[in-house]
A and B are shown apart, each in its own frame.
Chain A
Amino acid sequence: MRHHLVLRVVSKLLIPFILLFGLYVQFHGDFGPGGGFQAGVIFAAGFILYALIFGRENAVKVTPPRVLQALMAFGLLLYASVGVVGMINGGNFLNYSVLRADGVAGQHLGILLIELGVGITVAAVMIMVFLMFTGRGR
């Protein structure tokens, strides 16, 4: 894709906004449509667009597979550890009301954290799958 000037310029303009929109969807999921799953996919779509336009080698430099592997596991661990913290504070597993003194604030914190965990795992898995498929070559 060396000579597709229009594609390169337009995607360079678009990618920051795609990532920004991904973050908006992630953190606005409590109020409107959105949440970790959608945000993860949108975020991954931004990186995949980058890999499609600027080549796989550059994309691997931005998101090295080792980092992606760590992030895949980190998201799931974040989710589970929120549940475990709830247990330590005297509630059931994944009961967020005990995270803070005020139950409703605890619910807000819990939902924010686990949505973050979901988003990280989904984005990392999607980018990883794409890199694996394109790395196969012919």
Chain B
Amino acid sequence: MLSGIYSLLMAGAFVVLDAVDVAFTEAAVGAGISTVLMLGTLHLTRSREKIPTHGAFLPLAVVLLTGGILLYATTGMPAFGDPDAPVHTHVAPRYIEETPEKIDVPNIVTAVLASYRGYDTMGEVTVIFTAGVGVMLMLGGRKRRRDSDKEDGV
């Protein structure tokens, strides 16, 4: 499916932008898991889309307007790859300088993920856990009598 290819291309773009960890994740998640889930959903639902009855002009106008405003806003943003951009001068230099002495793992992304930003990561894991519980509650119940694994239901 196209979205899998899209994710793979996105992963390539991340490698070019020096974010190897992110590229790794995107390739594994986007091209693997989410494509399988999407195909599974299409199998469970109808795969044909109805022809839309209402016109596309209002959504198009809204989208173009929003896009125009956002493009205008980019003129106030720092240039691409600028080392003096605000994002590079706040906490990132401290992470890069302190990691060798204080944590001493070569991969700075892991150090920031697990140690400096441990609270964030714990929140993210909680979100994943909650989403898993949500999917179990939505789809785990028994649907028909002859479900082979109905005693496994939640």
Contact = CB atoms under 8 A, between A and B. Distances in A.
Interface in B108-123: 109-111, 113-115, 118-119, 121-122
B139 A136 contact: yes
Interface string B43-66: 110000000000000000000000
Interface in A95-137: 96-97, 103-104, 107-108, 110-111, 114-115, 117-118, 121-122, 124-126, 128-130, 132-137
A4 interface: no
B140 interface: yes
Contacts of B122: 79-80, 83, 94, 114
B134 to A, nearest CB: 10
A138 B110 contact: no
Interface of A: 25, 29-35, 37-38, 41-42, 44-45, 48, 52, 57, 60, 64-66, 69, 72-73, 75-76, 79-80, 83, 93-94, 96-97, 103-104, 107-108, 110-111, 114-115, 117-118, 121-122, 124-126, 128-130, 132-138
Contact of B40 (A97, A126, A133): A133
Contacts of A33: 20-21, 23-24, 107, 109
29 contacts: A34-B24, A34-B110, A35-B110, A37-B25, A41-B29, A41-B33, A48-B32, A60-B152, A66-B152, A72-B133, A75-B125, A76-B125, A79-B121, A107-B104, A110-B114, A111-B103, A111-B111, A111-B114, A114-B118, A115-B110, A118-B121, A128-B136, A129-B37, A129-B135, A130-B40, A132-B140, A133-B139, A135-B140, A135-B147
Given A65-B140, A111-B105, A111-B111, 5 more contacts: A41-B25, A111-B115, A114-B114, A128-B132, A128-B135
A34 to B, nearest CB: 7
Interface string B118-154: 1101100110110111011011100100011100100
Contacts of A29: 107, 110
A69 B129 CA distance: 10
B85 interface: no
A135 B150 CA distance: 10
B56 to A, nearest CB: 31
A71 to B, nearest CB: 10
